[in-house]
Each structure stands twice: as C-alpha cells, then as structure tokens.
Structure 1
Amino acid sequence: MTILEHANITVRSIEQTLQFLAIVAPDFRLRHRGETPQHHWVHVGNNQHYLALQEPRDQSRVNSKRIPYHQLGVNHWGLQVENLDEIETELIAAGYRRSMATPNETYRRRLYFFDHSGLEWELIEYFSQRFEQRYHYE
C-alpha cells in the first residue's frame, strides 16, 4: 500500500501557516525547525504524516501570479478533520477567507479556505466509515 508521507510546501510565512494549522490540525506538532542559506523550514505533523514548510529568505522572489485550476501545480491540500463546524468558526474569527462553495452531501462535509500565503486548503469531515458512502458523489 502506498501512503503519502509528506508534502513540501513553500509559504510566505511559516509562523502564519503554523497558526492556520493549529486551528485545522490541532494534533500536528512541530517536529523540527531548520535553516539553509535560502530558506527557513519546519516539519509539522503527527506520527504518521507531516508537512515540510519552506519560507524563502528572499521574499522578493516569491511568485504569487499562479492561477489555481488553470496552471500546473497543486490547487489545494485536503485534510480530513473532526469538528468541522468548530474549525470553520475559528477560521472565520481569525480572519481567514472561504474559497469555493461546496454542495450539501449526506456522508461528508467539505469547506475550502485560503491561508495567509493564499494557499487553498480543503477540509473534509466524514460521517460514515464506509468507503462507498464517503466517496459517493451526489
């Protein structure tokens, strides 16, 4: 079986991304923090999976002109969460903005939010353990 172990993401601010993740992934912890001549970096996650976050030292070279869903690259990150209603309330109170609308579905609820770097995150809460219900497209 193949399991996605980690993803390496360049962000504008590690600290702001850690604030976002503290709301949506409270079980994530800082695994390690490091420095290179080009980046500050951290590994943040749980015992199974983590995100490697890179913050460029030279912010003038950060390109924010990519148009998600129209150009090559990652469009969003999907995180399975619990208590999506509470997470939504906290994100809105913290000033994060919603992205696209999602349909009402019987066995899952999904929300899309942008973090401070402009990266889109899909947050999914499932209401069934059955594969065919979780991934039923209504």
Structure 2
Amino acid sequence: MANLEHVNVTVSDPKATAAWLGAVFDWKIRWEGDAMSGGHTAHVGDDSSYVALYTPNRVINDPQHSYTTRAGLNHVGVTVDDIDAVETRVKAAGFTPHNHGDYEPGRRFYFDDHDGVEWEVVSYN
C-alpha cells in the first residue's frame, strides 16, 4: 500500500499560509527553515502527512490558471470529520467557500486562498 506523504506548493508567504492552515485544519508546523536557492519552506500538517509551503528568494509572478497549465496544481483535497465547523473556520480566515456539493458518499466545498490555490474540503461522515 502507498500513502501520499506530502505535496509541495509555491506560495507568497509560507509563514502566513501555515498560520491559516493551522487555524482552519488544526494542523501544526512540523518543520520550517531555509530551502533551495535561498528560499524558505514550512511543512504544515499532522504526524502522517503535510503540505510543504515554499517561497523562492525572488519575486513570484502571478500564477497562470492551473486547469489550463500543464502540470498545474488544480486543487488540494482535505478530508475532515466536521465539514460545517471547518467551513466556519474557512470563512473566519477570510476565504469564501463555493461549489458546495452533496454526493454519494459525502459532502464537499471548495475555496481559493490568497495565492490562488484551490482547496477542496470533503467529509464522508
């Protein structure tokens, strides 16, 4: 059996992104420090998986639309036990939930963060 350990996403401010990820998903910073080419990285998640948040040591250009960019990151999916509580925390973090859906076997919604990364929140409860 294989398990996904982490994904690595380039963001404008790893510390700020790690803070709202912690507030929304109750994740912790597992590691933070210098990264390749003079950049900075924060690993935020739980004991089994995490999101690596990287920023280079240079200005980041505006991203292209991920669904039309080859090898673009379309969204990151996170499963939760209490989707309503998480949606409340998403709103408190300043993001706007959209594309709600009830489907077999669960419920979902999406939101876009300040870097244009789309997050899907799913509950199978």
Give yes or no for TM over 0.5: yes
* Cα 1:103/1:91, change in 2 over 3 Å: closer
User: Larger Rg: 1 or 2?
Assistant: 1
CA distance in 1 between counterparts of 2:43 and 2:19 reads 14
CA distance in 2 between counterparts of 1:122 and 1:111 reads 6
- Is 1:56 the counterpart of 2:46? The answer is no
Q: Corresponding residue for 1:109?
A: 107
Give the drift of 1:39. 0.8
Q: In the alignment, residue 101 of structure 2 is paired with which amino acid?
A: P
Q: Corresponding residue for 2:5?
A: 5
Q: In the alignment, residue 3 of structure 1 is paired with which amino acid?
A: N
Q: Is the strand fraction higher in 1 or 2?
A: 2
After TM superposition, what 4+ stretches of structure 1 lie above 6 angstroms from structure 2?
A: none
5 Å matches for 1:1-138? 1-26=1-26, 28-36=27-35, 37-58=37-58, 60=59, 62-72=60-70, 73-99=72-98, 101-127=99-125
CA distance in 1 between counterparts of 2:117 and 2:31 reads 22
Q: Corresponding residue for 1:133?
A: none
Report the TM-score when normalising by structure 1.
Answer: 0.79
Give the drift of 1:20. 2.5
What is the aligned-residue identity percentage? Answer: 36
Give the drift of 1:123. 0.6
Give the drift of 1:87. 1.3
The 8 Å contact of residues 18 and 42 in structure 2, kept in 1 or not, is answered as no
The 8 Å contact of residues 23 and 87 in structure 1, kept in 2 or not, is answered as no
* Cα 1:119/1:109, change in 2 over 3 Å: same
Q: SS where residue 3 of structure 2 aligns? A: coil
Q: In the alignment, residue 31 of structure 2 is paired with which amino acid?
A: H
Q: In the alignment, residue 93 of structure 1 is paired with which amino acid?
A: A
